[in-house]
Structure 1
Amino acid sequence: MSLLHSLEHFAIDRNPNPVVALKVHSAGQQEEVPFHRHRKGQLILTLHGGVTCLAPTAYWMIPVNCAAWIPAGVAHSNRVTPSGDVLFLYIEPDVQGMPQACCTLQISPMLREMLKHFADLPQDYLSDSPVARFAQVMLHELTLMPVEQLSLPISEHPRIKQLADSLMANPADRCPLAVWASRLAMSPRSFERFVLKETGMTFGRWRRQLQVLVAIRLLVTGMSVQNTAWELGYDSVTAFITMFKKTLGTTPGQYLNND
């Protein structure tokens, strides 16, 4: 059954329990869930492969040691890599302690196993059942998880979306700021101010953040560090590793080993 078909036949918002879960497997090809929203908040945990999530204010890449949090009512879209395994956790909006804004959460090994176990339990559990008590402990652990910097800030301005889509589609494009300004019919100075205003980052830092997210997506699907560097337009693997470590504080190899 496809990812989209699984979601369409899961009665997410009709289940009154504080938290319900669904594990899904994408088919052999990449699958994308169009923009949608839920009455409940949604946690998106990658079990295998990678997930890219898009909301009005950011792109996220969700590697296997993290999860994306989407608060209740926020429109979002998910893209799952080929043969990816994903766990969706749906949480009632009145559950205390969850972040108020979209973010990426680090998931501890213990909590990861708790989430996987919970998804295998009956989701129509009673409020005084052992499953309900397990769910409360699991939710408490979830509220303690730290936020990871694995998002790319964007805005609803069409030029920012155009810029992000262009670089996501061709991350090896290393044209200087002046060229990108020309493509958007702006002066270099106006372009620089525009990107900073819409994203909170300079263009150089924003593009490095995007490249790190693309790199993680490629690495978690099995691409080598060397080939990932080439895909991002780097002439040397060392330069790519330096950029990755400067952004995330760890090398690509160390990052993958932490998964």
Structure 2
Amino acid sequence: MERGLALEGFDPDSNTLMAQAFRIRVAESVKEIPFHQHRKGQLILALHGGITCEVEQAMWMVPTQYAVWIPGAMPHSNRATANASICFLFIEPGAIAMPEQCCTLKISPLVRELILRLAQQSHEDASPARERLVQVLFDELPHQPVEQLRLPMSRHPKIQQIAEHLARHPEERRTLAQWASVLAMSERNLARLVVKETGLNFRRWRQQLQVIIALQLLIDGSTVQKVGQALGYESTNAFITMFRNALGTTPGRYLASLAA
């Protein structure tokens, strides 16, 4: 069933179906749903374009082929890129053994097709065929590998200002001292604030954001050279070095492991 990003007023908690899916097509402009929560757990699968979720003082940036799992009753916000295509899968609490914490999952082609097939069916359909489809989905979903596409975040307005700016302009190489000047703080106080709010120093925190953006671009088909340029690196080798230091492998080998 296809709906808008906000499900056009539909309440997923209005029934006790074990699983229900929606395919979402985002309009040309970027869409955002402010903080809300469901009794049911929610899997957000990116089919085309990207979606960013803010959950538990963390930002989850979900590229295609990936999904973010949000346990039930956990406040979250969603922001989709223009012209994105997304699937929402709502799961009744206790219906399946899923992680108790928010996480990113790499979705197999089989699970992707099962979710898409479920989204095509009416929620009033109680046929044995639909029940078998849901059961196969529940057999496969807990085995999807967890990936580290999490950026520690904070509700602090200055941390959010930095994160939102860097997400929109990943090529910018503004230093901690320059950010301190923009935010009318001392460099020392800003450094302490970043560590306090995110658990990482500024360099590692920005690098994690760059890695997430790099993965989004690589998975969407950009070349290593173009990704390095998009992130503001002076050379492709410098970008590859950063990527290898963060993930322990090169971009090419990482993509090959996804294909495998």
TM-score (normalised: structure 1)? 0.85
1:100-139 equivalences under 5 Å are 100-126=100-126, 129-139=128-138
Q: Check whether the contact 2:5–2:24 (CA below 8 A) recurs between aligned residues.
A: no
CA distance in 1, matches of 2:184, 2:233: 27
1:1-259 equivalences under 5 Å are 3-4=4-5, 7-126=7-126, 129-256=128-255, 258=258
Q: Check whether the contact 1:3–1:31 (CA below 8 A) recurs between aligned residues.
A: no
Q: Check whether the contact 1:17–1:124 (CA below 8 A) recurs between aligned residues.
A: no
CA distance in 1, matches of 2:152, 2:167: 13
The one-letter code sitting in structure 2 at the alignment partner of 1:180 is: W
Q: How many residues align structurally?
A: 257
- Structure 2: which 5+ runs fail to align? none
How far did residue 255 of structure 1 move?
Answer: 4.5
How far did residue 68 of structure 1 move?
Answer: 0.4
- Structure 1: which 5+ runs fail to align? none
CA distance in 1, matches of 2:105, 2:246: 17
CA distance in 2, matches of 1:52, 1:244: 21
Q: Check whether the contact 2:3–2:23 (CA below 8 A) recurs between aligned residues.
A: no
CA distance in 1, matches of 2:33, 2:245: 32
The one-letter code sitting in structure 2 at the alignment partner of 1:3 is: G
Q: Check whether the contact 2:170–2:232 (CA below 8 A) recurs between aligned residues.
A: yes
The one-letter code sitting in structure 2 at the alignment partner of 1:34 is: P
Which segment drifts farther, 183-192 or 34-43?
183-192
Question: CA-to-partner distance for each residue in 1:67-119, whole Å, 9 max, x for gaps?
Answer: 10112222322222333221110112233422222211122233223222222
CA distance in 1, matches of 2:154, 2:79: 19
Which segment drifts farther, 229-238 or 74-83?
74-83
Q: Check whether the contact 2:63–2:220 (CA below 8 A) recurs between aligned residues.
A: no
The one-letter code sitting in structure 2 at the alignment partner of 1:49 is: G
TM-score (normalised: structure 2)? 0.85
The one-letter code sitting in structure 2 at the alignment partner of 1:169 is: R
Distance 1:205 1:76, change over 3 A: same
How far did residue 29 of structure 1 move?
Answer: 4.2
Distance 1:113 1:90, change over 3 A: same
Q: Check whether the contact 1:42–1:72 (CA below 8 A) recurs between aligned residues.
A: yes
Alignment RMSD (CA, Å): 2.6
CA distance in 2, matches of 1:224, 1:146: 25
Distance 1:236 1:21, change over 3 A: same
How far did residue 223 of structure 1 move?
Answer: 4.3
How far did residue 254 of structure 1 move?
Answer: 4.6
Question: CA-to-partner distance for each residue in 1:137-188, whole Å, 9 max, x for gaps?
Answer: 3224222323211011112222221221222232222233333334344444
How far did residue 11 of structure 1 move?
Answer: 4.1
CA distance in 2, matches of 1:20, 1:41: 11
How far did residue 66 of structure 1 move?
Answer: 1.4
Distance 1:80 1:140, change over 3 A: same
